[in-house]
Amino acid sequence: MARTKIDGEGQIVEESITGGQVKDESVTGSDITDGSITRQDLNITSTGRSTITRILAGAGVSLVSSGADSGTGEVQISISTSSGLNYVSHRALDQLVHSLAETSFYEVIRSSGKIMNEIWWETSAKLKKIRSIDYTYSGNNVLTSTTKQYDSSGSAIVGETFTETYDRIGTNIISVDGVLS
């Protein structure tokens, strides 16, 4: 930033000073002209006083900026949806599963003291399933569990069935193999 001063011989001169030479309260808006402060003059280390010096685009992100360098000046950030799901299309895939924690009716079905099925329904009327887990047994031990996800009409979603097979030594599980189908 340029400041006007009078030198020892009474001559008016302009001198440049850096950000490190200026106290925060000594500079006003009229002291700053366009281009007089550069990126290295900006504070990026003090809590409550730091500024963004440049925005860089990562994968799936594009920038439109008005500054001389990309990511400077006024910056518009856009997220690409071509490489995956955006928020809106993700929510539209299966609203029932998203509501599982908020509103659902949970049912446990037992047979001979064993849990055979767990089912999450949209309501207590049990008209639409959200998720179900079916269990098979070998003696008293769970052999497999099959989890199914359901769409907003209550139909099982193709490709969203996850089957786990439990390997045991005695009653201890030593490994679990899972297959999504």
**Residue 116 and residue 158 in one domain:** yes
Question: 46 with 59, same domain?
Answer: no
Which pLDDT score, from 0 to 100, does residue 135 have? 97
Containing 173, the helix (H) or strand (E) segment is strand 172-180
**Are residue 118 and residue 74 in the same domain, yes or no?**
no
* Type of residue at 128: K
- Mean pLDDT across the stretch 86-113? 70
Per the prediction, the chain carries an average pLDDT of: 77
Give the alpha-carbon dihedral of 100, 106, 111, 113, to 10 degrees.
100
pLDDT of residue 116: 97
Do both 136 and 105 map to the same domain? yes
Phi, psi dihedrals of residue 165, rounded to the nearest 5°: -115, 125
Who wins on pLDDT, 32 or 3?
32
Residue range of the domain that includes 24: 1-51
Neighbours of 70 (CB within 10 A): 14
**Domain check: are 130 and 156 in the same one?**
yes
Which of 60-69, 104-113, 130-139, 164-173 shows the lowest mean pLDDT across its residues? 60-69
CATH assignment of the domain containing 116: 2.40.128.720
Same domain, 98 and 167: yes
Does 34 lie in the same domain as 10?
A: yes
Q: Are residues 61 and 136 in the same domain?
A: no
- One domain for residues 172 and 95: yes
Q: How far apart are CA 101 and CA 81, in angstroms?
A: 27
Sign of the alpha-carbon dihedral angle for 136, 138, 140, 145: negative
Q: How many domains does the structure of the chain reveal? A: 3
pLDDT of residue 1: 47
What whole-number distance in Å separates Cα of residue 94 and Cα of residue 62? 28
